[in-house]
């Protein structure tokens, strides 16, 4: 899918109720700490997240650090408020971000793929790796979050009352640290529309 067709597809989905967690971040963002930044781990795959957060960063006079293992998004998106980083997310969070030494006002985690219908042990192990990767990123970045930081987790949802998906482990950790869920995608409604889309937005000090 090329960029023109991808953008058209996404616009059409929005018209019929398609929802992505990242696109509501601005609703919960008032002010940000001076000198703080936005971080996205998992650059845009034709659904608009990087452009959205870059525009939001520009509005708040800061920058977006967009981290990915490929340069695909960098090659097609130009924005003066993006700082591109090519690295595995957990390694970047552990070893590189401390050298940046800035507080984080918005953190968006959406990288390693989660398999929705994991019908083999191999796929289930892959999902465990996905959750581990996302949690490791959050673990190493946690001390850099501002007091009123917003954390956005894509492809994350409840199953039998438990949090699963990419950020399932992250939700539990953040709840234990005083964060609240301020927005949650309606997975059942989205599934009826034919979309496997889910996600949550979390914030503390409400």
Residue 5: predicted pLDDT: 44
pLDDT digits (tens, 9 = 90+) for 136-183: 999 999 999 999 999 999 989 888 888 988 899 999 999 999 999 999
Model pTM score: 0.87
- The contacts found for 73-77 with CB under 8 angstroms, 24 or more apart, are 73/43, 73/44, 73/45, 74/43, 76/3, 77/44, 77/50, 77/51
Q: What is the pLDDT along the chain (206 residues), one digit of tens a residue?
A: 333 444 454 454 454 455 688 888 999 999 999 999 999 999 998 888 999 999 999 999 999 999 999 999 999 999 999 999 999 999 999 999 999 999 999 999 998 776 667 667 777 777 788 899 999 999 999 999 999 999 999 989 888 888 988 899 999 999 999 999 999 887 666 555 555 567 999 998 77
SS3 content of the chain, % helix, strand, coil (to 5): 45, 25, 35
Query: How many beta carbons lie within 10 A of that of residue 97, not counting itself?
Result: 22
CB 41 within 8 A of CB 92: yes
């Amino acid at each position: 899918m090329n960029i023109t067709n991808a953008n058209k597809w996404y616009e059409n989905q929005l018209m019929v109720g398609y929802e992505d967690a990242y696109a509501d971040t601005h609703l919960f963002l008032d002010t940000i700490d001076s000198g703080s930044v936005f971080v996205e781990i998992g650059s845009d795959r034709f659904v608009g997240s990087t452009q959205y957060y870059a525009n939001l960063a520009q509005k708040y006079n800061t920058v977006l650090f967009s981290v990915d293992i490929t340069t695909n998004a960098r090659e097609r998106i130009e924005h003066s408020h993006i700082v591109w980083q090519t690295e595995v997310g957990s390694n970047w969070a552990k070893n590189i971000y401390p050298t940046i030494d800035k507080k984080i006002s918005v953190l968006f985690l959406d990288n390693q793929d989660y398999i929705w219908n994991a019908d083999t042990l191999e796929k289930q192990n892959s999902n465990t790796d996905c959750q581990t990767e996302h949690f490791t990123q959050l673990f190493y970045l946690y001390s850099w979050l501002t007091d009123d930081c917003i954390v956005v987790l894509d492809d994350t949802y409840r199953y039998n009352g438990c949090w699963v998906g990419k950020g399932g482990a992250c939700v539990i950790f953040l709840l234990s640290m005083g964060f609240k869920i301020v927005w949650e995608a309606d997975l059942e409604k989205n599934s009826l529309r034919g979309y496997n889309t889910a996600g949550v937005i979390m914030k503390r000090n409400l």
